[in-house]
Amino acid sequence: MKKINLIIILFAFISLSASAELSINITKGIDNPTKIAIAPLSFYGNQLPEDTSRIIEDNLKRSGLFDPISRKNMLSFPGTIKDIYFRDWKILGAEYLVIGSLILSGDFYEITYSLLEVHSSRLVFTKIAKGSKRQLRDLSHHISDEVYEAITGIEGAFSTKVAYVTSLKSNNKTLYKLMVSDVDGARERLILESNHPIMSPSWSPDAKELVYVSFETGRPAVFRQNLANANRKQLTNFRGLNGAPSWSPDGKKLALVLSKDGNPEIYTFDLRKEKFIRHTNHFAIDTEPNWAPDSKSLVFTSDRGGSPQIYRLTLKNGEVQRLTFRGSYNARPRLASNGRTLVMIHRSAHQFHIATQDLVNGDLRILSNTSLDESPTVSPNSAMLLYATKINNRGVLAAVSLDAGVKFLLPSKQGDVREPAWSPK
């Protein structure tokens, strides 16, 4: 009797478990910034020149996607995995934990760091990064990139740079400077200083050179400068406009605006052959060209329709297609590296805002809440955007994340800051 019951119930269990489990659909989320704890780097010896963990916290926070746990709330500072007591971090509400330890290896710093999931106690990765003593900031940015990518699925852009122009007026004279700094504003370096305006910096795809417009010869001209050795070369010398240079992603050409033929038109300049080709042929203003990621088309501003709007020019056949239809002023286009997000200056109700238009589904979103916005530039991972605006009568740079909508102002510097250009790497 018992044996038969045993068999029956065994079959019952088997068939019951063989039947499909309950399946529940989860269709919504909350998308709050991820709470992450960056434990202070552990190391022996003297104070380090930089607070690595703080730099990582600031980077992640600025991206708008992370909410770092405050160091003063931390209950322990583990340096290695075996020192981690996960409950200390669960209590703080942390979802992820980054720990690291630094050793001096000859003239180099070597940081071994790990990313862990707090709730599941799982190790996501352990990696090692090495750099000279001067490169501690670079190491911090590199670790930020790795952590960012593992959690968001997007490549980090914390190791990139930004070029921008500053102007400072004193005694009726204005001093203009072209600068390059880390994306967080640190390590400002002077590229060029002039008594005449500098405009429109644009990076080479290898991030080693800049092209820009300088008025040093008495009229606007496009110059090329190598950042490492400061070699400069004047590339244009026409009357009229010589402006808005944009370096193609394949590195071979510049797109720019010249009005030498009577009115502003879009040209390309072959850097090797040093030849100009004209691409537009309309009596209206055609300016501000910017390359698509595949180097096959340009987006540009034109008022051929009566007021400034954004158009796309296919280089192969010269076809021009209008892209913007909402509002009476859309200018200064930038195509994000994802190929589908068009960033621009958009005027609505007499205010100039930075807006994005999705070229696939047509969505238009106004991103900034400041009102004299200009010169948007997109990060190479299409996640963030820097632009220039005016606050309290001073030119400042602001940043906004393309998805999270988080906004913040960059630390203010002397004089007016404008025309940011994000390096491609």
Site string for another protein, 171-200 (x = CB under 8 A): ---x-----x--------xxxxxx--x-xx
Interface of this chain with another protein, residues 295 to 324, rule: CB under 8 A: 301, 308
Structure tokens at 335: 């195509």
CA separation for the pair 102, 84 (Å, rounded): 17
| Closest approach of another protein to the CB of residue 256, in Å | 10
Binding flag, residue 50, another protein (CB under 8 A): no
Contact 315, 279 (CB under 8 A): yes
Binding flag, residue 413, another protein (CB under 8 A): no
Structure tokens at 397: 């740079």
Structure tokens at 98: 């980054």
Count of residues binding another protein (CB under 8 A)?
106
Interface of this chain with another protein, residues 8 to 37, rule: CB under 8 A: 8-9, 11-12, 15-17, 19, 21-32, 34
Residue closer to another protein by CB (options 83, 273) is 83
Binding flag, residue 152, another protein (CB under 8 A): yes
Residue closer to another protein by CB (options 101, 225) is 225
Structure tokens at 107: 């003239």
Interface of this chain with another protein, residues 321 to 360, rule: CB under 8 A: 329, 331-332, 345, 347, 352, 358
| Closest approach of another protein to the CB of residue 317, in Å | 25
Say which residues have a Cβ less than 8 Å from residue 51's Cβ, sequence separation at least 6: 40
CA separation for the pair 63, 384 (Å, rounded): 7
Considering only 45-53, 69-77, 150-158, 273-281, which stretch makes contact with another protein by CB under 8 A? 150-158
Amino acid letter for position 269: F
Strand duo 108-117 + 96-105: pairing: antiparallel
Binding flag, residue 106, another protein (CB under 8 A): no
Interface of this chain with another protein, residues 258 to 297, rule: CB under 8 A: 259, 264, 285, 287-288
- Around Cβ 405, how many Cβ atoms within 10 Å? 12
CA angle, residues 14, 19, 20, in degrees to nearest 5: 140
| Closest approach of another protein to the CB of residue 127, in Å | 7
CA separation for the pair 317, 331 (Å, rounded): 23
Shortest CA distance to 288 belongs to which of 329, 316, 328? 329
CA separation for the pair 113, 43 (Å, rounded): 12
Binding flag, residue 100, another protein (CB under 8 A): no
Considering only 7-15, 44-52, 54-62, 268-276, which stretch makes contact with another protein by CB under 8 A? 7-15
Binding flag, residue 407, another protein (CB under 8 A): no
CA separation for the pair 43, 51 (Å, rounded): 12
CA separation for the pair 117, 96 (Å, rounded): 5
CA separation for the pair 386, 423 (Å, rounded): 11
Interface of this chain with another protein, residues 56 to 95, rule: CB under 8 A: 65, 95
Residue closer to another protein by CB (options 38, 191) is 191
Residue closer to another protein by CB (options 7, 409) is 7
Burial (CB count <10 Å: 0-12, 13-18, 19+), residue 69: buried
CA separation for the pair 317, 378 (Å, rounded): 28
Residue closer to another protein by CB (options 72, 218) is 218
Strand duo 96-105 + 66-68: pairing: unpaired
Binding flag, residue 51, another protein (CB under 8 A): no
CA separation for the pair 98, 60 (Å, rounded): 12
Residue closer to another protein by CB (options 248, 356) is 356
Residue closer to another protein by CB (options 80, 217) is 217
Binding flag, residue 414, another protein (CB under 8 A): no
Interface of this chain with another protein, residues 198 to 257, rule: CB under 8 A: 199-200, 214-220, 225, 227-232, 239-241, 243-244, 257
| Closest approach of another protein to the CB of residue 120, in Å | 4
With residue 96 as reference, give the H or E element that holds it: strand 96-105
Among 50, 51, 61, 110, binds another protein (CB under 8 A): 110
Among 44, 128, 272, 316, binds another protein (CB under 8 A): 128
Among 132, 281, 321, 414, binds another protein (CB under 8 A): 132
Interface of this chain with another protein, residues 369 to 398, rule: CB under 8 A: 372, 374-375, 383, 390, 393
Shortest CA distance to 292 belongs to which of 249, 355, 243? 249
